[in-house]
Amino acid sequence: MTVKNICCIGAGYVGGPTMAMIAKKCPDIQVNVVDINEQRIDAWNDPNVDQIPIYEPGLAQLVADCRGINLHFSINVNEAIEKADMIFISVNTPTKTYGIGKGMAADLKYIELCARQIASVATTDKIIVEKSTLPVRTAEALKKILHNTSNGVHFEILSNPEFLAEGTAVQDLLNPDRVLIGGDETETGKLAQQELVDIYANWVPKERILTTNVWSSELSKLTANAFLAQRVSSINSLSELCEVTEADVSEVAKAIGADSRIGSKFLNASVGFGGSCFQKDILNLVYISKSYGLNEVADYWEQVIIMNDHQKRRFAKKIVEELFNTVAGKKIALLGWAFKKDTNDTRESAAIYVADYLLNEQANVVVYDPKVTAAQIYSDLDYLGTRSSDDNKKLLQVVSDPMEAISDAHAVAILTEWDEFITIDWDQVQERMLKPAFLFDGRRILDSESMRTKGFEFYQIGRG
Catalytic residues: 162, 221, 277
Report if residue 228 touches ligand UDX, rule: CB under 6 A.
yes
Comparison of 84 and 320: residue with beta carbon closer to ligand ADP: 84
Question: Does position 374 bind ligand ADP by CB under 6 A?
Answer: no
Please tell me the distance from the alpha carbon of residue 369 to that of residue 402, in angstroms, as a whole number: 8
Question: Does residue 456 interact with ligand UDX by CB under 6 A?
Answer: no
Nearest by Cα to 163 from 199, 210, 115 = 210
Report what 15 binds from ligand UDX, ligand ADP, none; CB cut-off 5-8 Å by kind. Answer: ligand ADP
Site map (CB under 6 A) of ligand ADP, residues 38-77, x = contact? --x------------------------------------x
Q: How many residues does the chain have?
A: 464
| Listed residue (216, 221, 56) closest to 134, CA to CA | 221
The set of residues, in sequence order, having a beta carbon less than 8 Å from that of 209 and lying 6+ positions away, is: 178, 179, 181, 197, 200, 201
Contact positions with ligand UDX (CB under 6 A) in 35-64: none
Q: Among 322, 282, 275, which residue's Cα sits nearest to residue 302?
A: 282
What are residue 55's DSSP bridge partners? none
Task: Write down the least CB distance from residue 403 to ligand UDX, Å.
Answer: 25
Site string for ligand ADP, 244-283 (x = CB under 6 A): --------------------------------x-------
Among 232, 238, 285, 365, binds ligand UDX (CB under 6 A): 232
Among 21, 129, 164, 398, binds ligand UDX (CB under 6 A): 164
Nearest to 133 by CA among 229, 220, 18, 11: 220
- Residue 164 interacts, among ligand ADP, ligand UDX, none and using kind-specific CB cut-offs from 5 to 8 Å, with ligand UDX
Closest-CB residue for ligand UDX?
Answer: 275
> Which residue type is seen at 165?
A
Q: How far is CA 98 from the centre of its chain?
A: 22
Q: Report 385-424 residues binding ligand UDX (CB under 6 A).
A: none
Total of chain residues touching ligand ADP, rule CB under 6 A: 21
Which positions from 169 through 208 interact with ligand ADP, judged by CB under 6 A?
none
C-alpha atoms less than 13 angstroms from C-alpha of 328 in its C-beta half-sphere: 2
Q: Is 340 in the site for ligand UDX (CB under 6 A)?
A: yes
End-to-end CA distance of the chain: 62
Describe the strand order of the beta sheet including 457-460 as a list of residue ranges.
Answer: 396-398, 364-368, 331-335, 411-414, 438-441, 457-460
Find the part of the chain contacting ligand ADP (CB under 6 A) among 12-20, 79-87, 296-304, 391-399: 12-20
Which SS3 state, helix, strand or coil, does residue 380 take? helix
Which residues within the stretch 98-157 sit at the binding site for ligand ADP (CB under 6 A)?
A: 110, 113-114, 132
The rounded distance, in Å, linking the Cα atoms of 63 and 70 is 10
Using the rule CB under 6 A, give the single segment among 272-280, 292-300, 388-396, 424-432 that binds ligand UDX: 272-280
Strand, coil or helix: 47 = coil
Please name the helix (run of DSSP H) or strand (run of DSSP E) that holds residue 231, with its range, or none: helix 214-244
CA nearest to 236, candidates 350, 125, 112, 319 = 350
Binding segment (CB under 6 A) for ligand UDX, from list 26-34, 212-220, 256-264, 266-274: 266-274
C-alpha dihedral, 145 to 150 to 156 to 160, nearest 10°:
-30
Residue 10 or residue 274: which is nearer to ligand ADP going by CB?
Answer: 10
Provide the mask over 90-109, with x wherever binding to ligand ADP is found by CB under 6 A and - wherever it is not: xxx-----------------
Decide whether 163 or 203 has the Cβ nearer to ligand UDX: 163
CA 69 vs. chain centroid, Å, equals: 29
Interface residues toward ligand ADP, by CB under 6 A: 9-15, 34-37, 40, 77, 90-92, 110, 113-114, 132, 276
Interface residues toward ligand UDX, by CB under 6 A: 162-166, 225, 228, 232, 266-268, 270, 273-275, 277-278, 339-340
